[in-house]
Amino acid sequence: MTSTFQDGLHAAIIMDGNGRWATARGLPRIAGHRRGAESVRRAVEAAPSLGIGVLTLYAFSEDNWRRPPREVSALMRLLSRYLIDECDRLIANGVRLQAIGRRDRLSAPLVSLLETVERKTAHGKKLLLRIAIDYSSRQAILDAARNLKSVDEDALSQALGPDVDLLIRTSGEQRLSDFLLWECAYAEMIFTPRMWPDFSKADLAAAVEEYHRRDRRFGAVSAAQSA
């Protein structure tokens, strides 16, 4: 039987440190974001071989609108360029793209581009790539609850998306920053000082290896402890 993304881990990454990476090198912040886009490509290409079936990337939070307008505009252009440049590669590699977050505050051309790439990649089965844009987990939970006829744990989980197995945050920060709060209830978390532009396939592989070393008990005790 051919495996699909539903058989793999759900890894989520808070891609942090692009601006600081650039500033430390005397470069404009957008240069760090451009290098960060290369790290996205590396992670997406490496994920299926590491047993990752769903990869959710925090690209732009609701709070990021507070950044200088010039930087926000540059980030939106960079996202558009990524979608244009990577669409054929995603299709060839069996990657399905799905955007999560609000769309009403994005430009009409960007929304149209997102919808086009989602449609063209809809048959991808090796990896589900979820890009969080204008995303707030608190808002997502509120919206999901408001749209449900009957609110219970299973229904809310179904509305929000798959539980996260492995959460990675780069740049040394150790917080979730309103990212997948419900879905990360039992996630194994790894915080690395590596800045996102420097994050490599080896770093992703090391995080997955660390995940597999951990004893996930979900509130119970291990077999060895109960013996």
CA distance 63 to 127: 28
The alpha carbon of 57 is separated from its chain's Cα centroid by a whole number of angstroms, namely: 2
Q: Write down the catalytic residue from 64, 163, 178, 198.
A: 64
The pair of structure tokens assigned to 173 is 């920060």
- The residues, any chain, with a CB within 8 Å of residue 183's CB and separated by 6 or more, are 10, 12, 137, 157, 160, 161, 162, 163, 164
Residue 225's H or E segment, with its range, is: helix 223-226
Give yes or no: 198 in active site.
no
Please choose, from the candidates 214, 166, 157, the residue with its C-alpha nearest in 3D space to the C-alpha of residue 187: 166
Residue owning tokens 């925090």:
58
Q: Report DSSP letters for 108-123, one per residue.
A: HHHHHHHHHHHHHTTT
Please choose, from the candidates 90, 98, 105, the residue with its C-alpha nearest in 3D space to the C-alpha of residue 161: 98
The alpha carbon of 137 is separated from its chain's Cα centroid by a whole number of angstroms, namely: 12
Give yes or no: 16 in active site.
yes
Q: Which residues are catalytic?
A: 16, 64
